[in-house]
């Protein structure tokens, strides 16, 4: 380990000429490489996209200089972390780094660690003035983000997760003088009742296409990226209201194309979406009522490395709109899709699950009575 950490410099010293030669072109334009997701995180609550109701409420409480304990929930990439960071920035100005404590899964956990950390953090008094003399609220914010909350949530093994959550509630009350908690999670149902009742709950909704488009265009302009109109709407379609996904995708595409314009065909390559004709072909094979053909097609699909979950998603979209299938047939197929999805999540073999699904689809298309 030590050698790995230090090694970079020693090897460099032994052959400096080669290194400088290869990196000379880059060194002039050296900037800290920041992902655009971080670079374009909203700096102030006003910049938070699309969550108007949440922002309105929060602004009111900002006005009063006080915050309740917060619980943010909503799908990924809708701005939960961004919002709390923006609030902290608005409240504390430059000193916001000292006033927040982020607890997440990358730190060591266990309730004792959390308790100790929160205790130490909340015991420090927070002054009511900023260094520059302006007033600021006299409390600190503890952010327990999704990853951190994972340990507090009750997935399937509700044993020790609930204990952790239960322990948290007392901690929350005890620290209420100097600390506010902000919990961030995807599903509010994973959090036990006593905790939700101690927090002001805010739901973050998926970001609509128009807002996404506006943001992406702004970023394109700021970064000098050329992006085709069609490509942009494809990015938006793929990201399904997830701002982070959209921006990450845009950045990858921009890196890939360099100064050229981003076009539609690049996106399919990079976004992990299964090409449309592959799906069509699969459905066509299901129509043929031949198990052997199906077998070879699914094997082919797996060899191509397509993700089964993505396949399910697109297959589902496709079959919903299929006119030839009756309601009964569709419901049988979709039930199977749900089962297969669960199995895949549990780590079942992709080939077997896809075969099981496809045989059901084939059965329904070719043999079911409507």
Near another protein in 52-91, by CB under 8 A: 76-77
Of the candidate residues 16, 64, 133, 159, the single one contacting another protein (CB under 8 A): 16
What is the rounded CA–CA span in Å between residue 316 and residue 338? 10
Find the part of the chain contacting another protein (CB under 8 A) among 25-33, 57-65, 200-208, 217-225. 25-33
Question: What region, left, alpha or beta, does residue 139 occupy, with left being phi > 0 and alpha being psi -120 to 50 degrees?
Answer: beta
- Which range touches another protein (CB under 8 A), out of 3-11, 45-53, 227-235, 316-324? 3-11
Instruction: Compute CA 130 distance to the chain's CA centroid, rounded to the nearest angstrom.
Output: 34
| Contacts for 125 with CB less than 8 Å, ≥ 6 apart | 138, 178
Interface of this chain with another protein, residues 90 to 119, rule: CB under 8 A = 104-108, 110
Least Å distance between CB 232 and another protein?
A: 18
- DSSP class per residue in 195-234: HHTTSEEEEPPPPPHHHHHHHHHHHHHHHT--B-HHHHHH
Question: With CB under 8 A as the contact rule, which of the stretches 21-29, 63-71, 208-216, 222-230 interacts with another protein?
Answer: 21-29
Q: Contact, 244 vs 76, CB < 8 A?
A: yes
Question: Which residues 209-268 are close enough to bind another protein by CB under 8 A?
Answer: 242, 244-245, 248, 251-252, 255-258
Taking the least distance from each CB to another protein, the nearer of 66 and 261 is 261
Q: Which is nearer to another protein, 53 or 269 (CB)?
A: 269
Q: Render 33-91 in DSSP notation, one character per residue.
A: ---HHHHTS-SSGGG--S-HHHHHHHHHHHHHT----EEEE-STTSSHHHHHHHHHHHH
Label residues 77-107 b or e (16+ Cβ within 10 Å = b).
bbbbbbbbbbbbbbbbeebbeebbbbbbeee
Helical ranges in 101-208 per DSSP H? 111-123, 146-150, 160-174, 193-196
Of the candidate residues 33, 64, 159, 224, the single one contacting another protein (CB under 8 A): 33
Stretch that binds another protein, among 44-52, 87-95, 321-329, 359-367 (CB under 8 A): 359-367
Q: From the CB of 4, what's the least distance to another protein, in Å? A: 5
Backbone angles phi, psi at 58, to 5 degrees: -65, -35
Shortest reach from residue 193's CB to another protein, in Å: 23
Tell me the number of residues near another protein by CB under 8 A: 84
Rounded to whole angstroms, the Cα distance separating 277 from 301 reads 12
Of 193, 224, 305, 327, the one binding another protein (CB under 8 A) is 305
Scanning 58-66, 126-134, 167-175, 287-295 for contacts with another protein by CB under 8 A, the matching segment is: 287-295
Residues 199, 160 contacting (CB under 8 angstroms) = no
Q: In angstroms, what is the minimal distance from the CB of 139 to another protein?
A: 23
Min separation Cβ 176 and another protein, Å: 26
* C-beta of 44 vs 106, nearer to another protein: 106
Q: Which is nearer to another protein, 62 or 278 (CB)?
A: 278
Q: How far apart are CA 169 and CA 184, in angstroms?
A: 15
- Contacting another protein (CB under 8 A), which of 166, 233, 295, 318? 295
- List binders of another protein among 119-158 (CB under 8 A): 145-148, 150-151, 155
**Residue 249 CB, nearest distance to another protein (Å)?**
8
Q: Does 349 bind another protein (CB under 8 A)?
A: yes
Give 21 or 132: the residue with its C-beta nearer to another protein.
Answer: 21
C-alpha distance from residue 94 to each of 26, 134, 274, 298 (Å): 32, 12, 46, 56
């Amino acid at each position: 380990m030590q050698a790995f950490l230090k090694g970079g410099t020693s090897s460099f010293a032994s052959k400096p000429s080669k290194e400088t030669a290869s990196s000379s072109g880059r060194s002039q334009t050296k900037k800290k490489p920041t992902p655009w997701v971080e670079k374009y995180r909203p700096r102030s609550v006003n910049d938070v996209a699309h969550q108007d109701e949440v922002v309105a409420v929060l602004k009111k409480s900002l006005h009063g200089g006080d915050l309740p304990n917060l619980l943010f929930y909503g799908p990924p990439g809708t701005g939960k972390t961004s919002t709390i960071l923006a609030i902290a920035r608005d409240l504390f100005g430059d000193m916001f780094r000292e006033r927040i404590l982020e607890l997440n899964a990358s730190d060591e956990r266990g309730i004792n660690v959390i308790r100790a950390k929160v205790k130490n953090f909340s015991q420090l008094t927070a002054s009511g003035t900023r260094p520059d003399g302006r007033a600021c609220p006299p409390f600190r914010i503890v952010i327990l983000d999704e990853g951190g909350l994972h340990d507090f949530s009750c997935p399937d093994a509700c044993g020790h997760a609930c204990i952790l959550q239960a322990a948290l509630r007392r901690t929350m009350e005890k620290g209420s003088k100097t600390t506010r908690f902000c919990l961030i999670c995807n599903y509010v149902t994973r959090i036990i009742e006593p905790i939700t009742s101690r927090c002001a709950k805010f739901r973050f909704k998926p970001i609509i296409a128009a807002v996404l488009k506006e943001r992406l265009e702004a970023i394109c302009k700021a970064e000098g990226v050329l992006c085709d109109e069609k490509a942009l709407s494809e990015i938006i379609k793929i990201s399904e209201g997830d701002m982070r996904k959209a921006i990450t995708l845009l950045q990858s595409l921009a890196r890939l194309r360099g100064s050229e314009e981003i076009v539609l065909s690049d996106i399919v390559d990079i976004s992990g979406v299964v090409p449309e004709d592959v799906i069509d072909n699969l459905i066509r094979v299901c129509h043929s009522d031949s198990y052997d053909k199906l077998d070879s097609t699914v094997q082919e699909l797996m060899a191509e490395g397509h993700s089964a979950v993505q396949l399910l998603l697109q297959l589902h979209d496709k079959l919903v709109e299929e006119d030839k299938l009756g309601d009964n047939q569709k419901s049988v197929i979709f039930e199977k899709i749900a089962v297969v999805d669960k199995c895949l999540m549990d780590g079942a073999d992709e080939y077997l699950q896809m075969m099981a699904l496809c045989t059901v689809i084939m059965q329904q298309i070719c043999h079911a009575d409507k």
